Amino acid sequence: METAKEVGHIYGLARELMETREKDYEGSWRDEGLVCMVASSYKKASQIKVMVENGRWKENTPRVKEDLLDMMNYGALAYRLVELMEKMNKGGS
């Protein structure tokens, strides 16, 4: 199976998670900015790394999976912020 097809459903899960949280957080990511999105992703990755190293991920698989979806969403939000900043730098709105 092609990798893109194999993991395609995960993008849907990440979007579902974002849509669920958007009801509470709305567009706060715009105020938090690019540095915060990158730092948040790094923090999630660091936490997962520790859980993998100490073996606790096996007991916390649902949390690890949600944290991985969070990382995808932080990446998408960071990407969007870069697009918006690029547009602003070009004089667009």
59 C-beta neighbours (distance < 10 Å), count? 10
Asked whether residue 75 carries a pLDDT value surpassing 90, the answer given is: yes
Q: What is the mean pLDDT of residues 58-79?
A: 96
Q: What is the mean pLDDT of residues 46-65?
A: 96
What is the H or E stretch that residue 87 is in?
A: helix 61-89
37 by Cβ neighbours in 10 Å (0-12 / 13-18 / 19+) ranks as buried
Q: How far apart are CA 14 and CA 74, in angstroms?
A: 10
Tens digits of residue pLDDT in 6-37: 899 999 999 999 999 999 988 899 999 999 99
78 C-beta neighbours (distance < 10 Å), count? 20
Asked whether residue 69 carries a pLDDT value surpassing 60, the answer given is: yes
Asked whether residue 42 carries a pLDDT value surpassing 80, the answer given is: yes
Residues ≥6 apart with Cβ < 8 Å to 71: 41, 44, 45
